[in-house]
Every structure is written in structure tokens, then in C-alpha cells.
Structure 1
Amino acid sequence: MRGRLRDTGDRLVSVGSGLGVALGGGRTEPLFSQAPKRWMRALPYLIALGFTIVLIPVTTQVLSNDYGVSGGLAGAIGVAQAAPLLLAVTRPLTAWYIMIVADVLGTIPLFQGDAHHPSPWTPTVVVGYLVLCIALALRESRRALIGIWLVTVVASIAVGLFRDETSQDTGVLLIVLSGGVLLLGALLRERGEAQRRLVEQETISEAERTRRTLLEERARIARELHDVVAHHMSVITVQADSAPYRLPGLTGEVRGEFASIAAGARESLTEMRRLLAVLRSEEAQGDLTPQPGLAQLRQLVEATIRGGVPTDLSYPELSLVRELADVSPAVDLSAYRIVQEALANVVRHAPGARAEISIGLEDDALLVLVVNGPAREPVSPLESSGTGHGLVGMSERVRLVGGTLDVGPLPDGGFRVAARLPLTEPDSPTA
């Protein structure tokens, strides 16, 4: 009988060895290695060490007292069956290969003792094996877990053939419990991986949305600045063409120079129109309305008031209004768009709040200030989330003219947008 048990054990070792080679040596990354806190990363080591420390003496005691195994052999079996749990944190598949061999070979001395005790697996074997199954389920693939459970079934049935009929059968118990633990652990692991992939995808999507928003705002600004640049190029063309008629006595060389300037300006206009055709979206193909500026702020405020937002517009002294008319077209357009975006944000995020707009001059810069109070009406959930287009547009316009932008909430719950736009062309754009 002992020879038959040894043959069965050898066959199971061969099966386990082949499966171990097929499935690989397991991962080397510890369990919970990505946990944010140190005690979480150390928890698997503490659990494995705790079970090992407890199971070795308990297994030795159970084998000696209940199954009549000699003390030295009982201690060796206890170490062989419990010590692999120390590997479960980093290499659970290797730990399982060692444990399944130790558990199968450890059943041989059991059949020589009292037949009334549970067999073929001792209670400590069941506990240690289930702990290892938890580690396996959290790390290994579904195919590996199925193979592990099938080997468990074959081993339980094979060693159960030599069990005395009067003893308690623990083979079926291990088959059922190990299958349940492996299944539950695999489901939890796959659910966690699915949630992690979803978070990663959402992060990537958010980054893509931010990048797309930035590109859309830049394209929009480029379309709007086309009119500004085209106006200056048209003036250059007209002046260069009319110079020979307005300035008598020009030499032929000078006339040719003016003709070259006019031809270059016309060619630049043609190239700009081609670029505009690429930048302009399908919805804006027919939009040829002149770009607005500070002169249209009064109309913008009146339209905002009609929309239900009380708005005050403060211009500087009358003497400075004439100077405002001399700002560059880019600054003029940027100031208007900043006010427009700020008022749009008030409508979306602070309905019913009063908005105050102030336009002023400071040295060689145009100051734009838009302040609003807290919302006086409930904010729609769709509006409260926001898309960030307004702030992105403001930042890009301020960056275009080399100015500075300061935005942020106020202590009373309102919001402040302050922009400083240089009237002279900056040496280099500022972020």
C-alpha cells in the first residue's frame, strides 16, 4: 500500500511540475506593491509571516498527537507545508508548486495512524492551502487558476482513494473551498483591473479633451486675427500701388521697389486666405462678420443685461477713451473676447449674480477687470461641471499679446478675472 502511495505521489509531482513549467514561475512584483501607504504594502508580508509562524507548530502538534507521526517527521512536514506561504507574496505560483507537492507527500504517514481523524488533508493543510489560493487568485490569470484547481481536484481524488471509509473526508471540502476562493478572488481582481483601466482611460480622455480644447481655441484666435492682419496687408498693398501717383518724381528703381512691395503684399493676402480656408470650420465657412473690439463692449453689456445678468461697465476718463481707440487690433480683439468669455462664465456658473466690468490704462498696458458676486439662483449640474473652454481661451489670448492673466474665486463666493494687455509689442510671449 505504501508503494502505491509513493507511485501516486510521484505521478502528482510530475503533473505539478509540468503545470508549473507551462504556467511559468509567477510574478515577482509583491502583492499590494502599488498601494499608496507603506503599511498597506507591508500587510501581505505580515499576513504570510503570521500564518507561517502559527501553522508550523500547530501542524507539528496535530500530526504528533492526532495522527501518531513521530516528532521529527511531523516537524519536517509542518515546515514543508507552511513555509511556502512566505513565497506567496512575491511568487505565489512557485509557492503553490512547493506546497502541493509537500501536501501530497505529507499524506503518506497519515494513513498509518488513527483512521478516525480527518483525511486525506489535515485541517492545517486546508487552512494553509486556502490562504495560498487567495494570493494566487489576486495575481494569476484565469487559465492558471483553472489549472491549479484541476490539479487540486486530481490530487484530492487520488489521495482520497487510500482514505479509510470511517474517517472524515476533507478532500471534497478542499475542492469546494479552494474553487470558491479562486473564483471569488479572480472576480475581485478582474473587477479591480477593469476599474483601473477605466480610470486610466478617463485620464487619457481628459488629457485629449484639454489638448483638443486648446487647439480649437488657437484655431479660433487665428481665424479672428486673420481679419486684423488682412487689414494691414491691404493698407500696405494700396499704399504701395498708389505711391507712384501720390509721389511725383520717383525714379524707375523706386517705382519698381513699390511694385515689388505691392506684389508681395498681394501674395501674402492670397496665402492667408488659403490658410484661413484650412482653419475655418465648416460651421464658420460663411462667417465674414468683422471682428469686434472695445467699441462694441456697450452692445455686449446691453445684450448681457437683457439675458438676465445685471452688469455695470466702467470706462476710464473721457480723455483716455481716445487713447483706447489707439490700441492695436490684436489687443482690442483680445480685450473684447476676455470680457465676453467672463460674462459667459457668469451666466453659466453664477446665474443672477451682478457683474462689474472695468476698462482702464496703466502706463503702457490696457487693464481689463471683470468681477462677479456669488450665484443667486440654483446652478444647473450640466453648467457647474464646466468644460474649461472659457479660461483656456482667455489664457491663449493673453499669451498672444504677451500679457498676464489672474483668475480665481473671491472670499464672498464670487469670481475675478483680471488681464493686463501691453499696448506695445512684447519682446517675447509670456505664458
Structure 2
Amino acid sequence: MSLRVRSRDRGAEGGRVPGRARTGRRKPGALAQLSLVLRTPARAGEPLFARAPSRWQRMLPYLVVGVFVVTLIPVTIAVLVNDYALAGGWAGALGVAQTVPLLLAVTRPMAAWGIVLAADVAGAVLLIGADRVAGHAWPWPPMVVVGYLALMVCLGLRESIRTLVQVWLVTGAAGVVLGFFDPDGVTNTAALLFVLAGALLALTGALRGLGDAQQRIAEQESISEAERARRTLLEERARIARELHDVVAHHMSVITVQADSAPYRLPGMAEPVREEFEAIAASARESLGEMRRLLTVLRGDGAGGAAGGDGERAPQPGIGRLQQLVEATVRAGQPVELSLAAGAGEGVPPAVDLSAYRIVQEALANVVRHAPGARTRVSVSRDSGEVLVLVVNGPARDTVVELEGSGTGHGLVGMRERVRLTGGTLDTGPLPDGGFRVAARLPLDGGADAPGVNETSEDSS
């Protein structure tokens, strides 16, 4: 049996789970991206949409504001001259002062608002003495309303709620004050601008608040995911350390017994040799004590009954118990075939024996979770001083219903740590037919070389 082994260590879990369809994430459309950008607030000193993924999205605010400026300047001048009969010089000055500052709103909306509001108030004062102001909108002509509302959008996407409320109240106060100087026969638009500005500030402020909340949630989820991955890694390492304690403790106990019994089994032993054996036995007993104290720390106070139960004292499983594991999986309704080479488990170091069993156990658990009913083949053999473990499953027979919304990530973490422990290699990934493969090489000599791990799958077990 040959296994395709790669030595590249990605160092993180990724890819797919067994039996899942190959449905990669599709790139969101332009509207979806724009919606996301609208909900992403700009930081202080940044232009609007500065964090957008595409360049055209980052340039969009400048384009929109530029269109407003280019359109409003000639319209404002023409309306002031033709409808209000304002002098051309004043009309040109107002047209520039009331519209060009909108370009500043992309990066500094509060400064733009101060300039535009001052220009709008000055324009209202000048229109009091215009020849044909009667019968027209005042103090805010239609062009002023349009430009001011565009400015409100920029403010709402950038500033805090407190600032938006202050801007809204100042806008209303300016209209109220100017209302005391109404020319005869005009249509007062102060209330109209006050209501429309408030509605736009509320809408854009809500979008900004939603963006802030989503950003905080994303940051918290990122932190939680990192902490969960770290905790999972530590838990799995502690679990491996507890299991290795049982393996190493057996050999240390044998050394202690042999060293203690050597003077009785080998009579006539010289005194220096007897003292050497006594030193060996004392060192072995001291090592056993240290291991027990370390194991107590690894188990932790919260281990509860499990730590002291019979399961913790039972012998650790190995390749010889794979048949029982497969039979239990078959009884659970999962079709599994086991191919166990003759002598595959004979003379195998305890760490490799236990690691091979755990890798098969984790792989079968993932198949049951993510591809129930899929035909699965387990193969364990020996080749050139290595134990070769291969678990391959086909696609799920029926539509898979996830039993768990999100996993703890123990599966691949455990496989990776066990493979590194033995100095072996791990290769996991999806198959073209929708199935999944787990392949591991576990050297019998303890792994002189650094392990290589290649993982192209997710583990949500």
C-alpha cells in the first residue's frame, strides 16, 4: 500500500470535512459588497469607504460628490439669477460656496458642514433683498436642500450619534432664526429641511451603528476562535501526555523491578555493581514520582469522576483493538471494512500503537458525524519500519444533517499532535467523488526527522 505524503506544514486546520459537498464560498455580488461597505464605518481621518475591498468602491464617494458639485454649481447660479433675480456675482459666489465644500465631506464632513451651513445662511440673508424672492422657496432654495441632504449622508456615515443630533438641532435653530425675517409671499422651507435632514441622519446613523456592532462582533468572534483553537491544542496535548504517562510508567516500573531484584537474581554481584543497580532503582522510583505529580497537574482539579474512574486506569488501546472499534462502528449503522495486515501491531512502540488507534478512532468519528452511511475502508499495515494508517470514506448516502452546529476542533488537532509525537506525516483531504481521506505514516523508530503535516480538511468534531 502506498500513501501520498507531503511534508509541508500548514500549521492550521483548514479545508473540508468528510463527505461534505464541494461548495466553496462564492464571492458576493456587487450589491452585496456595496451593502457591506455601507455598514462599515470609516475611521477618523479616513475617507468614506476607505476600507472597501475594491478600488472602485473606495472611489465611489468622490464620484458621487463630484457629480453633485458639477450639477449643482450651474443649476444654483441659474436659479438664483433667473428665478430670484439675484446679481450674477453674488449668484456665482453662492453657487461655489454652497457646493464645492461638498468635496471636503468625503474626508472631513464636519468642516464641510460648517462651511456649507454658513454659505446657506448667507445666501438666505442675500435673498431677502432679491427682486423676485416672493413666490419662491426661502430660506433654503431647492438646490440648497439637495446639497445639504447629500452632506447629511456623509455626516451620518461618519460621525457619532451625539454629533448628528447636534447638527440636526443647529440646522433647525438656523431655520427658526431666519424665520423671523421672512420676506412677504415666500414658501418657508425651514421645516422641510429640518425633517428631511433628521430622517437621513437617523437612517445613516443607524447604518453606522450596525456597522460598528458587526465589526465588534467580528472582532470578538476572531478572538474567541483563536482562544478556542489554543484551548483545544492544550487540551489535546494534555490528553496525549496523560496517555503517554501510562505507557512510560509501565517501562519505568519494569526498570525499577529489575534493578531492585538484580542482586537476588544474580548472586555474587560486586559491591560497586550492587550500588549501581540501587542507584538505577532509586532514579526510576524518583522519575515515577515526578510523573505522577505531573499527571496530577495535567488532570486538573476539574477532572471529576472521570479522572478517577475505571476508564483512566484501563490499559491504553492499540492496533490490536481496532477490530473491536470497527465492529462497534458497524453496529452503529456505519458500513466499515477493516484491512489489518498480519503482524501490523507486533513489536510496535506503545506511542505508535496508541497513536494509530486514536487516528482511526477520530477519523471514524468524523465519518459518523459528517458522512453517515458512507462506505468506509480502514487499512493498517507496516512498510519499511513504518506503520501506515489509511481511512477513506465515500460520499454520504443521503443529505447530511449536521448534528453539531460547530465543533471543538479536536479531531485534526489530535491527529496532528499524535503524528508529530511519533515524528510521522499526515495527509488529509477531500476526494473527487465527495469522500474524504486520512493517511498517516508513523515511524517505528520514534521519528528522527521533523514531522510533516499536510491538512486540507476542516475538522468540526
Distance 1:37 1:403 in 2: 43
Q: Displacement of 1:165 after TM fit? A: 4.1
TM-score (norm. length: structure 2): 0.84
Distance 1:27 1:49 in 2: 22
Q: Which range moves more in the overlay, 281-290 or 411-420?
A: 281-290
TM-score (norm. length: structure 1): 0.90
Please say if residues 400 and 429 of structure 1, whose CA atoms lie closer than 8 Å, have aligned partners that are also in contact: no
Amino acid at match of 1:99: V
Distance 1:347 1:60 in 2: 74
Distance 1:235 1:311 in 2: 38
Please say if residues 322 and 357 of structure 2, whose CA atoms lie closer than 8 Å, have aligned partners that are also in contact: yes
Q: State yes or no: 1:395 paired with 2:416.
A: yes
Equivalent position of 1:376 in the other structure: 397
Q: State yes or no: 1:233 paired with 2:252.
A: yes
- Which one has a larger percent helix, Structure 1 or Structure 2? 1
Q: Displacement of 1:116 after TM fit? A: 2.0
Deviations along 1:70-94, one digit per CA (max 9) or x if unpaired, are 1111111111111110100000011
Deviations along 1:329-386, one digit per CA (max 9) or x if unpaired, are 0000000111111111121112122221111111111101111222124422224854
Aligned mate of 2:334, from 293, 309, 321? 309
Distance 1:387 1:378 in 2: 23
Please say if residues 320 and 345 of structure 2, whose CA atoms lie closer than 8 Å, have aligned partners that are also in contact: no
SS at the partner of 1:313? strand
Equivalent position of 2:432 in the other structure: 411
SS at the partner of 1:366? strand
Distance 1:197 1:27 in 2: 17
Aligned mate of 1:300, from 325, 331, 334? 325
Instruction: Map residues 190-339 of structure 1 onto 2, 5 A cutoff.
Output: 190-280=209-299, 281-282=303-304, 283-286=306-309, 287-316=312-341, 318=342, 321=343, 324-339=345-360
Distance 1:325 1:76 in 2: 96
Please say if residues 309 and 354 of structure 1, whose CA atoms lie closer than 8 Å, have aligned partners that are also in contact: yes
Instruction: Map residues 57-76 of structure 1 onto 2, 5 A cutoff.
Output: 57-76=74-93
Cα root mean square deviation, aligned: 1.7
Q: Displacement of 1:428 after TM fit? A: 4.5
Q: Which range moves more in the overlay, 89-98 or 267-276?
A: 267-276
Deviations along 1:147-190, one digit per CA (max 9) or x if unpaired, are 11111111111112111242101111111111111111111111
SS at the partner of 2:378? strand
Equivalent position of 1:423 in the other structure: 444
Equivalent position of 2:44 in the other structure: 27
Equivalent position of 1:37 in the other structure: 54
Aligned mate of 2:112, from 87, 95, 99? 95
Which structure 1 residue ranges, 5 or more long, are not aligned? 1-25
Q: Aligned pair in 2 of structure 1 residues 244, 409: CA closer, same or farther (>3 Å)?
A: same
SS at the partner of 1:236? helix
SS at the partner of 2:157? helix
Q: State yes or no: 1:355 paired with 2:376.
A: yes
Q: State yes or no: 1:187 paired with 2:206.
A: yes
- Aligned length in residues: 402
Equivalent position of 2:165 in the other structure: 146
Distance 1:377 1:290 in 2: 38
Amino acid at match of 2:152: C
Amino acid at match of 2:53: P
Equivalent position of 1:18 in the other structure: none
Identity of counterpart residues, as a percentage? 63
Bigger radius of gyration = 1
Q: State yes or no: 1:160 paired with 2:179.
A: yes
Deviations along 1:11-62, one digit per CA (max 9) or x if unpaired, are xxxxxxxxxxxxxxx9320000011111000000011111111111111111
Distance 1:72 1:378 in 2: 75
Distance 2:144 2:433 in 1: 66
Equivalent position of 1:12 in the other structure: none
